[in-house]
Amino acid sequence: SAAELDLRIRAARHSLGEKVVLLGHFYQRDETIQYADFVGDSFQLAQAAKTRPKAEAIVFCGVHFMAETADMLSRDDQAVILPNLAAGCSMADMADLDSVQDCWDELAALYGTEPDADGRVPVIPVTYMNSSAALKAFCGEHGGIVCTSSNATRVLDWAFARGQRVLFFPDQHLGRNTAFAMGIPLEQMPVWQPEQHLGGNSEALMGDARVILWHGFCSVHKRFTVEQIKHARHRHPGVRVIVHPECPIEVVQAADEYGSTDYIKKAIEAAAPGGVFAIGTEINMVQRLASEHPEHTIVCLDSIICPCSTMYRIHPSYLAWVLEALERGEIVNRITVPESVAVPARIALERMLSLSP
């Protein structure tokens, strides 16, 4: 039962003390997030993994790419544990190394590899944090960088200082929303399909591309629509609509603001009591914000429940299992990125971390 699980988790944590630290993403369900020592967006969780010196084990309540990042940024003697190995991210799975390499090769054939008179290379690869360690390594090896939804603008500025154009993967929406806000017209952001081959058609397909977008998307955020925003404005006059930048561009444009999960949380915390918010992001987070802030009215833009099904897979029973194993001195569900991948991936991650305050 839930009460039994709760006792088991608390007992294991108590006996492990500071040897274990639990990190949790905002999208985790309440039953799980209640045990987290630190809750954050994906950028903050990456930083947190780097700055937990006492922990021998980091239990990561989130999804696979976040645990991989935590493993690469934590010390080698710290084990990163993902309580349920089936907690992936369907968007991260939409870009694999082979297809990105194919695209890269075609772009190299089209644009060459030599820097221009200002020293800018033809293409800089930028990967969203929501990607495999192998793709972060690809970016590290090719002069590129990682970004999250909280620093994408700063990262694209960094990239455009070094490159004439950017190849952005896997999320087309974050790439498009960020570049559009920086003044890049939509016509200069073609979407690359993995089966695409430029052949003799390169000009027509690529035009004067500034940002080449991968075709990936988040199935949770793709559901939000302009209709829902209209409906929210009709139902709640004066409502503040805030959405995550993984939403389609017409939704982001129709909203009042957009930002990372932590941005959304801070916007609500900073508002004067009596605020009315319609939020376009994962439902567990929206419902938690609503219950933590009874002084505001907080609703989800989508009235049909839209959880991230993979985040949801971190059930407390897995937590009890991995913690009790640790108590017995066993490490289960460890996420380890081989050094051959971690070394170049860290280059791309550290480029991002050094840009942020």
- Which residues contribute to the annotated binding site for iminosuccinate? 25, 42, 128-130, 149, 244-246, 261
Spatial contact of 154 and 112, defined as CB atoms under 8 Å apart: no
Q: Which stretch binds ligand 13P (CB under 6 A): 35-43, 112-120, 152-160, 292-300?
A: 35-43
Q: Which stretch binds ligand 13P (CB under 6 A): 37-45, 100-108, 177-185, 195-203?
A: 37-45
Q: Which stretch binds ligand SF4 (CB under 6 A): 88-96, 102-110, 154-162, 257-265?
A: 88-96
Q: The tokens of 101 are what? A: 């390499």
Work out how close the CB of 225 gets to ligand 13P at its nearest, in angstroms, rounded to a whole number.
17
| Of the candidate residues 148, 151, 177, 310, the single one contacting ligand 13P (CB under 6 A) | 148
In degrees, rounded to 5, the angle at the alpha carbon of residue 324 between the alpha carbons of residues 323 and 329 is: 95
Based on CB atoms, which residue is closest to ligand 13P, 111 or 263?
263
Q: Is 228 in the site for ligand 13P (CB under 6 A)?
A: no
Across-strand partners of 22?
59
Q: How many residues form the binding site for ligand 13P (CB under 6 A)? A: 11
| Of the candidate residues 89, 134, 174, 326, the single one contacting ligand SF4 (CB under 6 A) | 89
Q: Would you give the binding string for ligand 13P spanning residues 229-268, x where CB under 6 A is met?
A: ---------------x-x-------------xx-------
In degrees, rounded to 5, the angle at the alpha carbon of residue 267 between the alpha carbons of residues 261 and 272 is: 150
Q: What is the maximum span of the chain, computed from C-alpha positions, in angstroms?
A: 67
Work out how close the CB of 235 gets to ligand SF4 at its nearest, in angstroms, rounded to a whole number.
25
| Of the candidate residues 149, 172, 178, 310, the single one contacting ligand 13P (CB under 6 A) | 149
Work out how close the CB of 27 gets to ligand SF4 at its nearest, in angstroms, rounded to a whole number.
6
- Residues contributing to the annotated binding site for [4Fe-4S] cluster: 89, 218, 308
185-204 exposure pattern, b = at least 16 Cβ within 10 A, e = fewer: eeebbbebeeebebeeeeee
Distance CA 221, CA 63 (A): 16
Query: Could you say which of ligand 13P, ligand SF4, none residue 347 binds, taking C-beta under 5 to 8 angstroms by partner kind?
Result: none
| Of the candidate residues 21, 33, 35, 41, the single one contacting ligand 13P (CB under 6 A) | 41
Spatial contact of 244 and 280, defined as CB atoms under 8 Å apart: yes
- Classify burial at 143, counting beta carbons within 10 Å of its beta carbon; exposed 0-12, middle 13-18, buried 19 or more: middle
Query: Could you say which of ligand SF4, ligand 13P, none residue 106 binds, taking C-beta under 5 to 8 angstroms by partner kind?
Result: none
Q: Is 333 in the site for ligand 13P (CB under 6 A)?
A: no
352 CB-side CA count, 13 A = 31
- Classify burial at 350, counting beta carbons within 10 Å of its beta carbon; exposed 0-12, middle 13-18, buried 19 or more: middle
| Of the candidate residues 90, 188, 225, 253, the single one contacting ligand SF4 (CB under 6 A) | 90
Q: Which helix (H) or strand (E) holds 23?
A: strand 20-25
Asked whether the CA dihedral 34, 38, 44, 49 is positive or negative, the reply is negative
Distance CA 66, CA 51 (A): 15
Q: Which stretch binds ligand 13P (CB under 6 A): 38-46, 201-209, 320-328, 335-343?
A: 38-46
Distance CA 121, CA 53 (A): 38
Q: The tokens of 180 are what? A: 């559009």
User: Site residues (CB under 6 A) for ligand SF4?
Assistant: 63, 89-91, 130, 218, 220, 246, 282, 308, 310-311
